[in-house]
Amino acid sequence: MKAVLLALMLLIHPVAADPLPEGFVRLSDLAPGIAQDIRYARAFNFTGAPVPGYDAAECILTTRTATVLIAVEARLAADGYGLIVFDCYRPQRAVAHFVDWAEGPQTDAAGSGFFPGLTRADLFPMGFIAENSSHSLGVTVDAGLRRIGDPVLRPKAMKGDCAAPFPQRARESTLDMGTGFDCFSPLSGVGAAVGAATTANRDRLTAAMRAEGFRGYDAEWWHFRNAADPARKPQDFPVR
């Protein structure tokens, strides 16, 4: 079924020749209707600046994982919802940059709203930053939930902090997910007490992802890995 779905998408949206390594695709070539806000290609992220390796705001995934993500979008669309994708394939140089940043000077005027009450040094033991990432395999996606027909919101500046109540923080969607994306806070955890309506939003996203074979990460409601995509070596080609 998923192979048939990919074949249909390729007929509708032919993929132009590109320099991506074999087995990788741009999600926008297959499913331009899936909303994207690739955060590390611009300054509104926890480092406060565009991240090395992100030359364009494009979601790149393995072909297999992109196909599965399209199936997730179709599943959500049946109930009037859709995805917004914040990060997909992540070059190894970006992963290394996050490590260097976390170990760097602890002055955080630009990024403190993303980790309220914490220092950069706290982010390693809490599991928010690591020396290796499955994103570099092209099988992992960071995603949120939106209603179909609602505008795609791409905030440019922090409002309050990422764990503030919904009306007081930068708006990423018309749906409350409990925290912003990349909010390094205990409230980002899958089991956090964030209220019934917000938990329902998280559960809807998680259920759709799990139904297509993605597996989550307990500390981050937005993080999902395609467990069925075969292991491969981490990659370092730039996002273009």
Tens digits of residue pLDDT in 186-214: 999 999 999 999 999 999 999 999 999 99
Q: What is the pLDDT of residues 144-185, one digit of tens each?
A: 999 999 999 999 998 889 999 999 999 999 999 999 999 999
**Percent of the chain, pLDDT > 90?**
79
Residues 6+ apart with CB under 8 A from 91: 52, 53, 54, 136, 235, 236, 237, 238, 239
When pLDDT is averaged across residues 127-153 and rounded to a whole number, the result is 95
Torsion of CA 221, 78, 155, 216, to 10 degrees: 20
Angle at which helix 63-77 crosses helix 2-12, to 10 degrees, equals 90
> What is the model's pLDDT at position 61?
98
Question: In 3D, which of 231, 198, 112, 101 has the Cα closest to residue 160?
Answer: 112
| More confident of the two residues 231 and 187 | 187
- Do the Cβ atoms of 234 and 137 come closer than 8 Å? yes
Residue 128 predicted with pLDDT over 70 = yes
The strand ranges marked E within the chain are 24-26, 35-36, 60-62, 81-87, 140-147, 214-217, 220-226
What is the pLDDT, as a whole number, of residue 14? Answer: 45
Other CB atoms within a 10 A radius of the CB of residue 224 amount to: 28
Instruction: Return the pLDDT at 181.
Output: 97
Type of residue numbered 187: L
CA-wise closest residue to 63 among 17, 29, 12: 29
CATH class of 2-225: alpha beta
What is the Cα–Cα distance from 9 to 178, expressed in whole angstroms?
33
